[in-house]
Amino acid sequence: MSDGRRVVVTGIGLRSPIGHTMGELKSSLKAGVTGIRSVDEWKSIENMRTLVAGLCRDIDESAIPRQYRRTMGRVGILSALSAIDAVRDSGLSEETTSSDRCGVSYGSTQGSSTSLEEFVKKVFSTRSLKGMQSSSYLQFMSHTCAANLAMMFQSKGPVVASCTACVSGSQGIGFGYDAIRSGRAEVMITGGAEEMHFMHSGVFDIMRATSTRFNDRPEATPRPFDAERDGLVVGEGGGCLVLEDYDHARKRGARLYAEILGFGTNCDGSHLTNPSAAGMAGAMRIALADAGIPADAIGHVNAHATATEAGDIAESSATYDIFRDAAPVSAFKGYMGHTLGACGAIESIITILMMRDGFIAPTRNLETPDPRCAPVRHVLKDTIESSFTKGMNNNFAFGGINTSLIFGLV
């Protein structure tokens, strides 16, 4: 158990396929709304099998000051909008966010793929740098989100850019938590983002890991843990949690959404793409030990659940190993798809939302659990009322990288 400083969440912001505010997110979850859409333009891409994605609508960039937008691609835009909302929600002053006691820990799988495509298309078609914008690289560099957020808020504390695929957002939160707990910062702007680009789905399509049977019924996919699932659906979005030292937050009278009780991250050390149940379970155990609580204290497990065969089977086995069928388990990619670098942040926000408002939403599209998966306690079909006070959010990524975050009511 950590004997470091307590870390609380004082601000939340997001952009997602099912809502851009906590209120919209809650309404969508309770109504079973899907953010999965058909993407007709992908039909022109030869050998592209999947034609569905989780898309963010009505993205208004005008909230971002013009001088900062020029170095942001879409992934930077999504991160900035979520962070602006979160910092405003936290009530922190500009003096605080621009100090050396405020840092940024924010991730994405990579920089803006759209900006990268535009850049290399021009360079390689003309074999010339004539007319190239000096800001182009800043839009697609791997740490574009973290760097742009630090500049926008003029933060002078530590900056961490987690570019670890599907755990980018959860490591962004976890590393921010570590920075405050150790005393290196008092405030951290944390989270993750991802933009939609056809190659984000394309790389999984090449691996035969995407959903293809439901191209004409996008509302029916993805199907986490379901016997009829046929692969993942890629989405886009951004999520931001403002983390703060507990004493600092209480002194200024901040609203406290939740406390981060524990964080676990590890590596399977065995295979770049094949998931390891032992590695997943290991991350959960590290988080529980960090929080100093037993498994039976967890009132809900937010599963990563990508709706791939290998992933769902391994994760259910790992979750069952820790919790058996005691803790309710639900997953949220059936609502918005796999938002890659953003999922750890958005799904952590969902955990906090449900815990604060006393409900657990079901796993959308889970109708018949795959008998090859371990028999965890799935939340099926209907939202249930629950007054749980501690929730776990799990995320796993290529490279065998695993994360587990535990949140509690303050």
Q: Is 166 a catalytic residue?
A: yes
Choice among 200, 304, 343, 378 that is catalytic? 304
Q: Is 197 a catalytic residue?
A: no
| Cβ density class 311-320: b for 16+ within 10 Å, e for less | bbbbbbbbbb
Name the one residue in this structure whose structure tokens are 């760097």: 147
* Helix 144-153, helix 74-90: angle, nearest 10: 40
93 class by beta-carbon count within 10 Å (0-12 exposed, 13-18 middle, 19+ buried): exposed
Bridge partner residues of 192 (DSSP): 107, 239
- The H-or-E segment that residue 79 falls in is helix 74-90
CB contact set of 73 (below 8 Å; sequence gap of 6+): 111, 112, 113, 114, 115, 139, 140, 144, 195
Choice among 338, 343, 373, 378 that is catalytic? 338
Nearest CA to 260 out of 30, 10, 82 is that of 10
Number of Cβ within a 10 Å radius of residue 372: 11
Choice among 166, 240, 343, 373 that is catalytic? 166
Number of Cβ within a 10 Å radius of residue 247: 12
C-alpha distances in angstroms, 145 versus 99, 119, 302? 19, 18, 25
Q: Is 378 a catalytic residue?
A: no
For the chain, how many residues are written?
A: 410
Catalytic residue IDs? 166, 304, 338
